[in-house]
């Protein structure tokens, strides 16, 4: 199983309470969050659901992130609770995210994204 069918399989498991992952890491994300996030972003073709920016080069996939609409429930990985956002839109979702993106690491990521977007 590869490509879209595998992405759909991963996301379908999260829709089923009998099969979804519930084991979390220290940050509260399920241990297979990276796989879920990648599968979700791929089904959205790495296009921001906020500003509609579409990633040009998959090497820079870090600029498109998966956001939990219910930010306080990182265990709810159903598609209805996920949104594909560029780092700029993700940084502006609400006060919690605005605060998260004040870190030096995230400020550098935002600056790198703006520079990347301005490339021809």
Q: Chain centroid to CA 56: how far?
A: 17
**Strand pairing category for 82-86 and 64-68:** antiparallel
pLDDT band, residue 1 (cuts 50/70/90): low
- In 16-103, which residue ranges form alpha helices assigned H by DSSP? 33-43, 87-90, 95-100
pLDDT tens sequence across 30-55: 999 999 999 999 999 999 999 999 99
Q: What percent of the chain is modeled with pLDDT above 90? A: 76
Q: Is the pLDDT of residue 81 over 80?
A: yes
């Amino acid at each position: 199983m590869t490509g879209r069918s595998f992405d759909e399989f991963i996301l379908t498991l999260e829709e089923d309470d009998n099969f979804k992952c519930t084991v979390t890491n220290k940050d509260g994300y399920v241990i297979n969050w990276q796989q879920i996030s990648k599968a979700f972003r791929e089904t959205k073709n790495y296009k921001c659901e906020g500003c509609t920016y579409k990633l040009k080069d998959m090497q820079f996939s870090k600029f498109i992130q998966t956001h939990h609409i219910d930010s306080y429930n990182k265990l709810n990985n159903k598609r209805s609770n996920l949104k594909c956002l560029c780092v700029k839109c993700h940084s502006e979702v609400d006060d919690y995210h605005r605060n998260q993106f004040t870190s030096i690491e995230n400020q550098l990521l935002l600056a790198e994204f703006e520079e990347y977007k301005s490339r021809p």
